[in-house]
Amino acid sequence: MKIQSINPATEQLNGEFETLDWPGVKKAAKDSREAFEEWRRLDVSERAGYLRKLASALRSNAQDYGRCMTIEMGKPIKSSIGEVEKCAWAADVYADSAKRWLEDEQVEAGARKSFITPQPLGVILSVMPWNFPFWQALRFGIPALAAGNTSILRHSNTVPMCAMKIGDAFAKAGFPDGVFEVAITDHDAVSRLIRGNLVDGVSLTGSVEAGRRVAALAGRHIKKFVLELGGSDPFIVLGDAKLESVCPMAVEARLINSGQSCIAAKRFIVVKDIAEEFSRRFVELMQAKAVGDPMDEKTEVGPMASRQQVETLESQVGRSVAMGAKVECGGHRMPGKGYFFEPTVVTHVRPGMPVLNEELFGPVAPIIAVKDEADAVRIANRSRLGLGASVWTSDTAKGEELARKIEAGVVYVNGIVASDPRLPFGGVKDSGIGRELSRYGLLEFTNIKTVVVK
């Protein structure tokens, strides 16, 4: 089967690629299994050495890899290069910390000696999306390999060129054959891998529906899984917030990756006393954003990754307007070539509208006015998704108090939600199961083994 890579800014064909058939996928899995037996035996410090080389390879090729991301999924070039550099940073963090994070934990339990030792599970399959082509794949892959596992990357077929560039980075870093395999293949191959004995676990970043399917299949076959799914992140603005500084941050939080991010702010919940001024400032700043050619370093908002993304946004806004929502700016696909959508602000929203009930994967921002902070928390938690959230206030003690009440995997007070290799990342409710990054992410695909010596 052939797949196409399309430049979303020009709608031109980047290239056609042949997917790997089942015999090819099976061989990759067997190669990964063979590599695991050697890789697991390396001392953590030796694996760290490979990670440092990976960091170097990423930094040395950041321009090339960044350009690939930009022409394949439309990310503005400055963000693309920054994404590659963030991956290099993650490799350095694990190179520095993995040995300490994997040390045996001594426990007093009435025996001569009792300890807990984390050991790798084996071959781990990762199923990754297109929106952060390098970061999503490597924020899983780096910890998994640091722990002593080997990995197979099944990347989104929207970004086959990026998948190959990631494989190129591991090759340039000199990783042994089979330690990190890239398989450009179909969904059926993913299912067959999970059903069989070729992989020992699976990590998926994607939609809630995809997560349900993978979790059901992995559970049926007793395979460890980690899911990072969708988000409908609330951006809560309290009455004492300084709008001159908060509003630019609100726009930045909404337009992460041109709005195509699970942790982009997607619901702006503002105390009613300041809601009108917040809306005015927010609209002005959204309208001022530079939308255009993602290869231009001045561009702030690039195209959506596909025609389907644009059509979905138009439908979500249009259906919400039909239900009584008001578009303050934007609301439409931009004319001409490319999958561009106007930065959009929607007010007069209420429960049941698509702009609230469905995940918005693009530059569309609904504003909800609430009576007070208790109402803000109630509305923030009125979602089946619970990935990230932020609270904006001049009173940081109050911000911390509210952060504890919000149902989410990560909450920032007076900061934009972001992933950081030093901190655990993941969601609750329909936003996922398990954690990535930090020591917690490192241990997800290990056997937490107890050893007792009498």
Residues 6+ apart with CB under 8 A from 159: 5, 69, 72, 73, 130, 133
Grouping H, G, I as helix, E, B as strand and the rest as coil, residue 28 is helix
Q: How far is CA 354 from CA 87, 313, 319, 322, 400, in A?
A: 34, 10, 7, 11, 30
Which residue reads 């009498």 in tokens?
A: 454
Among the listed residues 72, 83, 181, 228, the single catalytic one is 228
> How many residues are recorded in the chain?
454
pLDDT at site 96: 98
Give the Cα separation of 307 and 12 in Å (integer): 12
Give the Cα separation of 213 and 203 in Å (integer): 12
Give the Cα separation of 175 and 46 in Å (integer): 11
pLDDT at site 1: 86
**2-229+431-453: which CATH topology?**
Aldehyde Dehydrogenase; Chain A, domain 1 (3.40.605)
Beta strands in 122-264 (DSSP E): 123-128, 150-155, 180-182, 201-205, 224-228, 233-237
Q: Does 262 qualify as catalytic in the annotation? A: yes
**233-413: which CATH topology?**
Aldehyde Dehydrogenase; Chain A, domain 2 (3.40.309)
Q: What is the CA radius of gyration of the chain?
A: 22
Q: Does 34 qualify as catalytic in the annotation? A: no
Report the DSSP beta bridge partners of residue 106.
Answer: 115
| Phi, psi dihedral angles at 50 (to 5 degrees) | -65, -40
| Selection from 273, 255, 256, 238 nearest residue 406 by Cα | 238
| Selection from 321, 361, 320, 367 nearest residue 341 by Cα | 361
Among the listed residues 262, 328, 373, 436, the single catalytic one is 262
**CB count, 10 Å around CB of 59?**
16
Asked if 301 and 255 count as a contact pair (C-beta separation under 8 A), the reply is yes
Grouping H, G, I as helix, E, B as strand and the rest as coil, residue 291 is strand
Q: pLDDT tens track of the chain, all 454 residues?
A: 899 999 999 999 999 999 999 999 999 999 999 999 999 999 999 999 999 999 999 999 999 999 999 999 999 999 999 999 999 999 999 999 999 999 999 999 999 999 999 999 999 999 999 999 999 999 999 999 999 999 999 999 999 999 999 999 999 999 999 999 999 999 999 999 999 999 999 999 999 999 999 999 999 999 999 999 999 999 999 999 999 999 999 999 999 999 999 999 999 999 999 999 999 999 999 999 999 999 999 999 999 999 999 999 999 999 999 999 999 999 999 999 999 999 999 999 999 999 999 999 999 999 999 999 999 999 999 999 999 999 999 999 999 999 999 999 999 999 999 999 999 999 999 999 999 999 999 999 999 999 999 9
CA 237 to chain centre: 24
One-letter amino acid for residue 313 of the chain: L
User: What global pTM score does this model have?
Assistant: 0.97
Report the DSSP beta bridge partners of residue 205.
Answer: 228
Domain boundaries, the chain: 2-229+431-453, 233-413
